[in-house]
Amino acid sequence: MLDACAHWPILKSALPRAVTVELLRLDESQQTKRAVTENVSPRGARIVTDWHRAPGKHLLVSAPKEGVKSLARVVYCQRMESTKFAVGLQLVVRVEEWEKLAS
């Protein structure tokens, strides 16, 4: 399996943290889905979901319990299992709550 961190330096500083997030597709379907992060950083997250999302696509990501809501760009999408994908997201808004974890 590819090492996503080698292709996306934001995740090199990411901390392991499981956060439940809500994803909203910004296409005509406007579908929503819950997912869980594997790790987070102030500018990104790696999530596990059953949605395949192509790099370059955008999602709206929110973590209501943490007051997080940001537009995010899909940086990579890797198949983990037959129905699960690891998706690297680059957040448009810096998440101060997740930055506190890193310091």
pLDDT for 11: 52
Rank 3-7, 28-32, 45-49, 63-67 by mean pLDDT and report only the highest.
Answer: 45-49
> Which of 41, 43, 40 has the alpha carbon at shortest distance from 20?
40
Any idea of the CA torsion for 49, 34, 89, 52, to the nearest 10 degrees? 40
Distance CA 30, CA 86 (A): 21
- Using alpha carbons, list the distances in angstroms from residue 102 to 29, 33, 41, 65, 90: 35, 27, 7, 19, 17
Please indicate, yes or no, whether the overall pTM of this predicted structure exceeds 0.85.
no
> Which of 28, 26, 77, 73 has the alpha carbon at shortest distance from 51?
77
